[in-house]
Structure 1
């Protein structure tokens, strides 16, 4: 059961307070009219006495005794008094109900007008994402409490945007600066291992260092791609997603064969607007992950169509449903955090999600019925 909205509550308060004020006004008006109207018995006695004195005869001789005349006149005046008060009450009640209905209508409209800035703030907050902090309210109006709230919210967004941009620049710059020493380190290890007089122990150590260096290079390259996609796209070109996917499948055929995994494709023509390099990296990460986290004799199914634009399914170990959302976070894998798996850097699905968002789409995943994972990428048409 959902609660009442603020607009409904304000309207109820407006209507209720107006109805209460109207009831008080009707009661006061009723009491004033009641006290103003003369007493029937007194008016009747005064009128009969005045008639006797004026004509020098008893008015009662016409209709009977003076007491009868007083009672008849008093009854007529009492009936008139009751009719007047009843008419006043009925008319006031009808006017009160009609005016209360108008008050509720105008209260609803005024509450909506007063709360409109809050709806703008809520809409802006819902549209915010880590990579899209360019939304602002820019509320115009008098310097009241709502204007102050909107300006405070805009100021907070400015600070958040600056913080995120600074973080992205740092990641990109740090990743770029680390590529050179890693490349130098790899070259020195390869030169040392090329020496024919190197001992088996040193060769084993060099092989291990090369694997570690290769993993570090993959992680640095992934961070650079992630930082680039998080900054958004500066230019877009039409990209045939089916052709990019076919190229990636051909490039990973050797790895799939070595892992004993069969790759099946169904590629329909699909054109999207975006960056061909980033889109190729998105497809590569999905296909490589599907091959890597699989089982011998397993399968990978890659499909390109209208909606979703890309879907990659694979067999493999069972993935708990509660672990699926964390797979899109950097350095996260099923059953481990930053350590325990040296095959990849743990940035694959993070890059997929970031690239999809940079192209105006999104990526989602769900576990397969008999193991493995199904990842779908939805992209807007070109």
Structure 2
């Protein structure tokens, strides 16, 4: 089944807001086994919107539209879709009641302005999708005989991500799944410390021979994710199809695999490793300025392993807080293997933690020299009295260099924890 996405809103078209809905929906449609060949963005203009919807319906079975379902005059998605499908708009009593309840609950009985009742107008015969987080319901409009789009479907979803995502996950995705003759099931294998090109080379033969299941790589900052997807009549059959490929990936990537769960992040995997070993960790950051600690603190329950962290941006702070010797800083400089080692060891002594991870580097865009260019980063890790330092040369902008440094720091900490077990 072929699907197409249309994002509605002049603010998206002009770049005033980032279109996160399209990225989310595209990925979810692919996981549902829908073929997605086109995406469009259209402003709040009736004629252009009508033309965009008609072209989408001519080449796709399902058209998913986000945005333009609000109460204002420029919210035209529902009206234009009804026009395309030759359907009248009728007030729905249940939707009107839900709008009233929502205002009483959220706005403490604030008077409802007349334009809000516009959201209770529904294309004739449409399936109403309840919105638990807003006033505009989602809608599924199916083309009747004589409409020119018989059997075609338009699915209208509110634009705010906190309304769009829950509605899609709880109601739209199951609806689309039921339309498919076979279900689509997938498993994830997340790999770190191996670059995208090398990782893809390691599975090139599997990708060349793939039929069902299929294997697709996705590059992330410091990571490569492999999605194994199978088409089958039920989940149990899909698991049987995926099992041999998953086992082969485990053989090829070994300890580089940090999780096989979709929802687990690298920082969550690292926190879990520390918890399992009943170990604590501390951080000492210079160029990353707390970004590394922030990644760890993103994990619920991080306080069980992270008691304190240090941002020592200046040389004076490195000396005073971490007790990096003045001689090391004078002889080797703040961005050096020696300083990274001293920072990691000083952080462990200061905090009494079982492990530490330290980052020092030149994020840019200024500050580099021929000997120490922008993007040069040293990361030190101490685990149970053993210290390892790695040198990196990143080539992104300031923010990207900091993000890469954080990813590599988490990877180094993980590697040192594994090494300590041997």
TM-score calculated relative to the size of structure 1: 0.25
Higher relative contact order (CA closer than 8 Å, sequence separation 6+): 1
More strand by share: 2
TM-score calculated relative to the size of structure 2: 0.23
Computing the radius of gyration from Cα coordinates, the structure with the larger value is: 1
More helix by share: 1
